[in-house]
A and B are shown apart, each in its own frame.
Chain A
Amino acid sequence: DTEVTQTPKHLVMGMTNKKSLKCEQHMGHRAMYWYKQKAKKPPELMFVYSYEKLSINESVPSRFSPECPNSSLLNLHLHALQPEDSALYLCASSQSTGRGLLAYGYTFGSGTRLTVV
């Protein structure tokens, strides 16, 4: 299995809702990432997990809450979002660091298109 699977593909939520985005990989990668991409902009790094521990939080508002329950799964919990949070949310995975990371880079999922109404 050489894929990163993201669900759902599309999500519409109200500003008072709580929802979660899910990301799964079975490549044995020990680093996982969340990116946010607004229309016509490059992806922006949000969170980095290494060996199931949060290693980087790029000053993301607390209404976004990441979780890494195990080495294959990454969640992004959403609560009280704003319309400006509407974007494509991308998950990626990689060998954690070192030669494995350099040799293979990141593998990305297809993303979840989130619309906040």
Chain B
Amino acid sequence: DAKTTQPTSMDCAEGRAANLPCNHSTISGNEYVYWYRQIHSQGPQYIIHGLKNNETNEMASLIITEDRKSSTLILPHATLRDTAVYYCIVMGSQGNLIFGKGTKLSVKP
């Protein structure tokens, strides 16, 4: 079973920041938090991942709470092309990528 809990769906206005929450209260000390997204009928796309520290790349920022029990993916300026299902996944070095239900993000004009 997936180790994460995410809202089923969220809306965001184009140009605004999209903040997608994820709960992973049973995460182990050596497990990372990964975010992938899947645009309709395409393969999942890697976005970002982290262990303890906040991370930022050209696509997004990842904020992980100090107790590591939850995290937030931030898309700073959402566009219509960011409409997708976003998956938060916890994985360790010996694990496999197991998808939960994800959050369907709809970016609206």
Please list the residues of chain A having a beta carbon within 8 angstroms of any beta carbon in chain B.
Answer: 4, 33, 42-45, 48, 56, 88, 90, 92, 97-99, 101-102, 104-111, 113
Contacts and interface: CB of A to CB of B under 8 A. Distances in A.
Given A107-B46, A109-B43, A113-B41, A92 B97 contact: yes
21 contacts: A42-B2, A42-B85, A42-B100, A43-B38, A43-B99, A44-B99, A45-B96, A88-B41, A90-B43, A90-B44, A97-B94, A101-B93, A102-B32, A104-B46, A105-B49, A105-B91, A106-B46, A108-B44, A108-B45, A109-B43, A111-B41
Given A107-B46, A110-B43, A42 B99 contact: yes
Nearest to B101: A42
B98 A110 contact: no
B57 interface: no
Nearest to B42: A110
B96 A33 contact: yes
The 8 closest A-B pairs by CB, nearest first: A108-B43, A42-B99, A108-B44, A110-B43, A43-B99, A98-B93, A105-B46, A106-B97
Contacts of A56: 96
Interface of B: 2, 32, 34, 36, 38, 41-46, 49, 85, 87, 91-94, 96-102
B34 to A, nearest CB: 6
A4 B43 CA distance: 10
Contacts of A111: 41-43
Nearest to B38: A43
